[in-house]
Amino acid sequence: MAGLALEGPNPDVDVLDGINGLAKGAPHWVNRAMEFIGEYGIIAGLAVLCLIAWWSARRKQDAPAAVAGLVWAPLAAGLALLANIPIRAFVSRPRPFNDHAEMTVLIQGKTDFSFVSDHATLTMAVAAGLFIVHRVYGLIGIGLALLEGFCRVYMGVHYPTDVVGGFALGTAVALLLAPLAQALLVPLATTVGRSKAGWLVQAPAAAARAAAEAGAAGRAGQDAAGGQFVTTGPPLPPRHDGRDKDLAA
């Protein structure tokens, strides 16, 4: 793919040449699979991962905080995509296939600008949001986001730096705005957890266990505040003072 060469060294184009060059000699079914995975499959996989994480978070003792964090993951992705709109318009970088005619392009009809990659931004924002709540699910999400970035370059629709920029944007939005998001979403999740839709925030068994623990803690606090103590052993004999002796006489 000599058509990708520019005057002087260009690492961005060199990496694009190497990764997209794999598509040129790949079987047709491999390219079709990469097209589906890179365009829809990984995003669908992240959605399933978020659902699994939500189902697990509902069983935690601090379920409202965990569920609030999971709600933040897709919200962060949406905010990052909105932030990318002015960035794309400002940079106005053409898609790589517009400047390099000999590329193998698996997705046709892309007419918008290239920097930064929406797919890379979205997937990494979700992955970073998951990582805040659950390390294992977050690492799986990061792995899927990295695969998404590879697919975008493989398909010939983005430069590698478009993908890196998307990763940076998605991560920045998810991490920097997380404290504010938690401050707003945790009270909301707590309120929902106490309503008829509480199963969305906390599993019934976990809610019952938390209520029982809260009730036990409340009773213990009342006992301590009232000076009531539980003693064991036989009852103490009644006390007899001098007045008892006078009555007996």
d(CA 138, CA 145): 10
Question: In this predicted structure, what is the pLDDT of residue 99?
Answer: 83
Question: In this predicted structure, what is the pLDDT of residue 241?
Answer: 54
| DSSP code per residue over 28-51 | HHHHHHHHHIIIIIHHHHHHHHHH
Return the percentage of the chain with pLDDT > 70, whole number.
Answer: 78
Closest CA to 188 of 63, 85, 69, 64: 64
Is there a contact between 70 and 149 (Cβ–Cβ < 8 Å)?
no
Least confidently predicted of 31-45, 97-111, 233-247? 233-247
Give, rounded to a whole angstrom, the gap between the first and last alpha carbons of the chain. 122
Beta-carbon contacts of residue 86 (< 8 Å; ≥ 6 apart): none
Question: In this predicted structure, what is the pLDDT of residue 49?
Answer: 96
Residue 31 predicted with pLDDT over 60 = yes
d(CA 60, CA 206): 7
Token pair listed for 150: 């590879």
Question: In this predicted structure, what is the pLDDT of residue 5?
Answer: 42
Q: What are the structural domains of the chain? A: 10-193 (1.20.144)
Question: In this predicted structure, what is the pLDDT of residue 122?
Answer: 97
Residue 237 predicted with pLDDT over 90 = no
Residue 178 predicted with pLDDT over 90 = yes
Is there a contact between 128 and 170 (Cβ–Cβ < 8 Å)?
yes
How far, in Å, are 22, 49, 84 from residue 171 at the CA level? 28, 18, 13
This model's pTM is above 0.95 = no
Pairwise pLDDT comparison (5 vs 108), residue with the higher score: 108
SS3 232: coil
Return the percentage of the chain with pLDDT > 90, whole number.
Answer: 60
Least confidently predicted of 5-19, 45-59, 153-167, 178-192? 5-19
Question: In this predicted structure, what is the pLDDT of residue 101?
Answer: 78
